[in-house]
């Protein structure tokens, strides 16, 4: 064996010692997010009774308005009937009336009962000028229209103002009991220059 192959102490000592594995660095822990502030609990105060009452009033008003509009809408499509007083009615017995003009039925039926010594007739209270209702002036013994001044005597014959003819007379007759039955749907007239219907049958009751 040669000299070079003989190991020396220095060579044996020069054998490097195995190095220890490097200690890994401590793992970094992730930063915790900043904590949220605690939720604030808000307590709602109860609604005052006054506000509740106001709401009820507002809603009731709205409901009432809508209901009224609905009823008006429905009423628009419903048939309309006009209630008018009957044109035929009884006014009592001839003996219930004194001579002259009686105005007690003027407001209800728009008539005057006119009684003379030999007949009873009913005057329809409508001026022949423009249709106003004249007034009976007992102190002057005449009818006077307040609209345009037409004047009529106690038997409703025109004598002054713009009225072109006497006032009309309603049909009158006696029923089985002797009561006066008036029919304002049938009128007797005396147009100027034409036939006088006041003497026709039905225009008066003979006394």
pLDDT in tens, 138-192: 999 999 999 999 999 999 999 999 999 999 999 999 999 999 999 999 999 999 9
Q: Tell whether 144 is covered by a domain.
A: no
Q: Tell whether 174 is covered by a domain.
A: yes
For residue 102, what are its two tokens? 């009686």
With H, G, I as helix, E, B as strand and everything else as coil, classify residue 111.
Answer: strand
Number of domains in the chain: 1
Q: Tell whether 178 is covered by a domain.
A: yes
Q: Is the pLDDT of residue 41 over 90?
A: no
The mean pLDDT of 133-137, rounded to a whole number, is: 96
For residue 14, what are its two tokens? 């020069």
Q: Tell whether 111 is covered by a domain.
A: yes
Measured between alpha carbons, how far apart are the two ends of the chain, in Å? 190
Cβ(112)–Cβ(103) under 8 Å? yes
d(Cα 85, Cα 108) in Å, to the nearest integer? 9
Q: Tell whether 58 is covered by a domain.
A: no
Q: Which residue has the higher pLDDT, 98 or 21?
A: 98
**Domain span at residue 117?**
88-128+164-206
- At 17, the pLDDT band (50, 70, 90 cuts) reads low
pLDDT for position 1: 46
Mean pLDDT, the chain, integer = 83
CB atoms within 10 A of CB 69: 10
Q: Tell whether 156 is covered by a domain.
A: no
Cβ(112)–Cβ(121) under 8 Å? no
pTM: 0.60
Beta bridge partners of 123: 112, 169
Cβ(136)–Cβ(123) under 8 Å? no
| Alpha carbon separation from 56 to 53, 61, 70 (Å, rounded) | 5, 8, 21
Q: Tell whether 113 is covered by a domain.
A: yes
Q: Tell whether 57 is covered by a domain.
A: no
């Amino acid at each position: 064996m040669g000299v070079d192959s003989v190991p020396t102490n220095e060579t044996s000592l020069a054998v490097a010692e195995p190095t220890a594995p490097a200690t890994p660095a401590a793992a970094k822990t992730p930063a915790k997010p900043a904590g949220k502030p605690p939720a604030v609990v808000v307590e709602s105060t109860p609604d005052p009774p006054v506000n509740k009452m106001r709401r009820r009033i507002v809603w009731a008003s709205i409901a009432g308005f809508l209901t009224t509009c609905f009823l008006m809408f429905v009423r628009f499509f419903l048939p309309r009937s006009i209630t008018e007083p009957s044109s035929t009615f009884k006014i009592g017995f001839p003996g219930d009336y004194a001579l002259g003009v009686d105005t007690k039925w003027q407001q209800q039926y728009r008539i005057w009962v006119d009684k003379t010594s030999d007949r009873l007739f009913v005057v329809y209270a409508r001026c022949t000028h423009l249709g106003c209702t004249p007034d009976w002036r007992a102190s002057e013994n005449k009818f006077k229209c307040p609209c345009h001044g037409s004047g009529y005597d106690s038997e409703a014959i025109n004598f002054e103002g713009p009225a072109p003819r006497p006032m009309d007379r309603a049909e009158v007759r006696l029923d089985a009991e002797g009561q006066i039955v008036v029919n304002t749907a049938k009128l007797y007239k005396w147009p100027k220059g034409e036939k006088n219907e006041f003497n026709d049958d039905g225009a008066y009751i003979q006394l």
